[in-house]
């Protein structure tokens, strides 16, 4: 029974080790006779040539069996990130202002009241994967929400798009930013994230 567990541990090695084992097996099989004679493995190689080939083939296929799911996972993550970045263009005006405010203040994290309009916007952004809600730290008067690290560069580069054209000259946008400054617990509590 322990040999079975040892075998299962061997096939669960990272793919790079399995591919290395397959390469070593192929090296033993395809090594020229003079090299095998010089290394003193010619007799050993002739006796277990079939087992070396079987082990190399198994290592190669188990390596691919582990590599393919991880490659598919990376492809799915990249696709999800691309969709998330596309969703920045289809946000509601309140969500745009909240993200634009964070980009304007150059803060990834902002403390928001959970029962406020901004808190509801932050929850919507969390569901879209753009923001993350802190777990276990904060209160109903000031709960930290953070823009995910993957999205933050895109938010910073789209600050003018999120806040609107000529947002610094637009009194309505500047009023919303000042209102956000007054309502965020970060400004009142002296925290600067």
pLDDT reported for residue 1: 59
Out of 32, 51, 86, a domain closes at 86
Q: How far apart are CA 33 and CA 29, in angstroms?
A: 10
Q: How far apart are CA 40 and CA 37, in angstroms?
A: 5
Out of 70, 86, 102, a domain closes at 86
28-57: pLDDT as tens digits? 877 877 877 787 777 677 778 878 888 889
Greater pLDDT, 161 or 188: 161
Contact criterion met (CB below 8 Å) for 171 and 93: no
pLDDT reported for residue 134: 77
Q: For the sheet containing 143-147, what is the strand order?
A: 109-112, 143-147, 131-133
19 lies in the same domain as 78: yes
- Which residues span the domain enclosing 50? 2-86
Least confident of 18-22, 30-34, 71-75: 30-34
pLDDT reported for residue 72: 92
102 lies in the same domain as 22: no
Residue with tokens 């964070």, as numbered in its chain: 102
């Amino acid at each position: 029974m322990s040999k079975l567990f040892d075998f299962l541990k061997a096939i669960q090695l990272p793919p790079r080790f399995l591919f290395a084992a397959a390469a070593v097996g192929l090296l033993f099989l395809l090594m020229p006779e003079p090299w095998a004679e010089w290394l003193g493995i010619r007799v050993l190689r002739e006796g277990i040539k079939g087992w070396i080939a079987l082990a190399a083939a198994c290592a190669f296929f188990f390596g691919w069996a582990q590599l393919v799911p991880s490659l598919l996972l990376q492809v799915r993550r990249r696709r999800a990130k691309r969709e998330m970045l596309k969703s920045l263009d289809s946000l509601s005006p309140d969500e745009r202002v909240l993200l634009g405010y964070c980009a304007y203040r150059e803060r990834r994290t902002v403390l928001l009241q959970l029962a406020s309009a901004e808190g509801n916007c932050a929850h919507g952004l969390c569901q879209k994967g753009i923001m993350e809600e802190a777990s276990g730290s904060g209160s109903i008067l000031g709960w930290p929400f953070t823009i995910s690290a993957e999205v933050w560069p895109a938010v910073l580069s789209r600050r003018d798009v999120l806040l609107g054209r000529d947002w610094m000259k637009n009194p309505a946008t500047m009023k919303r930013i000042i209102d956000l400054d007054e309502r965020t617990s970060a400004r009142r509590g002296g925290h600067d994230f």
